[in-house]
Each structure stands twice: as structure tokens, then as C-alpha cells.
């Protein structure tokens, strides 16, 4: 039995302690649900917040026993990008994002939708989750949303997606063989182009298979394999050996 976490490590905007604290608080917002499911109890930081906000959770001794006795066997999560947090109220106002609020990281490149591309961040996230829970993990979503444009022959040469996935698979491999994390498996997002849950756009494409459809609903729905399809097929067949 597992669970699902939308993961992405927060970095402090500066070395100022208040930025470090802000990053830790943002991480706690993500980890809270898994803290309960993986540890079998509500974390103290959440209990204190509820006290401050005068929120009372009705729980019986039987409820607490059920939580303790039914923790997850593994932690599954999605990873697309790392994020940046600030404790400065004026700087914090500059954050933006269609799912998670984040400042721009000047050391990273971004996707066309502003998601910061950070393969090392995946390795950091794997280590953070492993250190926190000591439970096997499963990466169930990882991919790059991009404006794929077919050429005159209908072929999509999405080398940028290949580069993204290859770098993240390498980071995953480093986390396993160099850091010793327990990773059960990895699945990309996604197999085929579909409407983005984050922005509601068809043009924000993640798939290995191109679907002829645009944001306005125009297109034949014809499907064609992108360059990344054949690349990832080789990755699977070689169990990653095709990635140096």
C-alpha cells in the first residue's frame, strides 16, 4: 500500500535564516500528508498550528490506533521541478506558479511554462524523502511540458524532452548507487499528449505520442510517435544501459 505526494524540494532564496525557515515551512506543507501516512501520527508542527488557529480535530483512541497500525509500505511521488522560498514579505509577493508558488532560481533553466529544470533537485528530493521516512519510494510522475511542433512530415524531434528525462534518470541512478536510497520504480508523465491538469491546455504536451489537437479543440486526433518515444523504448529495453 502506498500514497501520492506532489514533491519538489524548496531551496531558500538566500542564506538568510528566515529564508531557510520559509523553505522548511513550505516543505512541511508538502510532507504533512505523508508524515501522517508514513509515520502513523499527526506531526507536532501541525498540532501546534491547529492550536494557534483554534482548530480542533475530533479523534478517538481507536482512530489514533488505526493510523499507527496502517502506515504505507512505500512512498510514491511526482517530481517536475524544484522551488525557491523567501521569508521576506516583499520578496515573497513576487512568487508565482500555476500549482506551486516559487521565486525564480537564477542558476536553473526553465520550461516554457516557467517550471525550473533541476535534475539534481530530484536526487535531493529522493534523499530527503528517504531520510525522513526510511521507506521504499516510487517516482510515478516526471516529465517536461513543452510546445511540440511537428515538421512538414508530421515528425516531432523533441530533443529537449529527451535531455530532460535523461538528466533526471541519471540523477535517479546516482541517488540509488551513490546515496543508497531504496527506489522501487520510475514512470514518466506521460505516455500520450492530453490536457494539462495544471493549466488546462492541450498545447502543454508531455507525451511520447503526439496527438493532433489544439487548445481550441481543433485537430484530427491523429496520433504519431515522437523522437522521444523511440529513445525511451531503447532506455526500457536496455534497463537504462543506453544512458551513459
Does residue 243 lie within any of the structural domains? no
Q: How many CA atoms lie within 13 A of 187 on its CB side?
A: 10
In-domain check, residue 180:
yes
- Label residues 117-150 b or e (16+ Cβ within 10 Å = b): bbbbbbbbbbeebbeebebbbbbbbbbbbbebee
What pLDDT score does 94 carry? Answer: 62
pLDDT, tens digit, 9 for 90 and up, residues 62-103: 999 999 999 999 999 999 999 999 999 888 666 555 456 789
Asked whether residue 29 carries a pLDDT value surpassing 60, the answer given is: yes
242 in a structural domain = no
pLDDT in tens, 108-142: 999 999 999 999 999 999 999 999 999 999 999 99
Task: Give the model's pLDDT for residue 197.
Answer: 87
CA–CA separation, 210 vs 224, rounded Å?
5
What pLDDT score does 113 carry? 92
Known catalytic residues are 141
The tally of domains found in the chain comes to 1
Say if residues 228 and 165 touch (Cβ distance below 8 Å).
yes
Q: Are 75 and 3 in contact (CB under 8 A)?
A: yes
Within a domain: 26: yes
CATH number for the domain including 104?
Answer: 3.20.20.80
On whether residue 244 sits in a domain, the answer given is: no
Structural domain that includes position 76 = 4-237
Q: Global pTM?
A: 0.94
- 55 in any annotated domain: yes
Give the residue from 216, 229, 126 showing the smallest Cα distance to 170. 126
Amino acid at each position: 500500500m502506498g500514497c501520492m505526494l506532489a514533491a519538489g524540494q524548496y531551496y531558500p532564496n538566500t542564506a538568510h535564516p528566515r529564508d531557510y525557515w520559509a523553505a522548511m515551512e513550505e516543505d512541511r506543507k508538502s510532507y504533512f500528508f505523508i508524515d501522517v501516512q508514513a509515520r502513523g501520527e499527526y506531526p507536532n508542527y501541525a498540532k501546534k498550528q491547529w492550536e494557534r488557529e483554534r482548530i480542533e480535530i475530533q479523534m478517538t483512541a481507536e482512530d489514533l490506533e488505526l493510523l499507527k497500525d496502517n502506515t504505507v509500505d512505500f512512498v510514491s511521488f511526482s517530481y517536475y521541478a524544484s522551488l525557491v522560498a523567501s521569508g521576506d514579505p516583499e520578496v515573497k509577493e513576487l512568487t508565482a506558479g500555476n500549482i506551486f508558488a516559487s521565486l525564480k532560481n537564477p542558476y536553473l533553466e526553465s520550461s516554457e511554462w516557467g517550471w525550473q529544470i533541476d535534475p539534481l533537485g530530484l536526487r535531493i528530493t529522493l534523499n530527503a524523502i528517504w531520510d525522513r521516512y526510511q521507506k521504499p519510494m516510487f517516482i510515478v510522475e516526471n516529465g517536461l511540458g513543452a510546445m511540440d511542433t511537428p515538421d512538414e512530415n508530421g515528425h516531432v524531434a523533441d530533443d529537449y524532452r529527451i535531455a530532460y528525462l535523461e538528466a533526471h534518470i541519471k540523477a535517479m541512478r546516482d541517488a540509488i548507487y551513490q546515496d543508497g536510497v531504496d527506489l522501487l520504480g520510475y514512470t514518466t508523465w506521460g505516455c500520450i499528449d492530453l490536457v494539462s491538469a495544471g493549466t488546462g491546455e492541450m498545447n502543454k504536451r508531455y507525451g511520447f505520442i503526439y496527438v493532433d489537437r489544439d487548445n481550441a479543440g481543433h485537430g484530427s486526433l491523429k496520433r504519431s510517435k515522437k523522437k522521444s518515444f523511440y529513445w525511451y523504448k531503447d532506455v526500457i529495453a536496455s534497463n537504462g544501459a543506453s544512458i551513459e
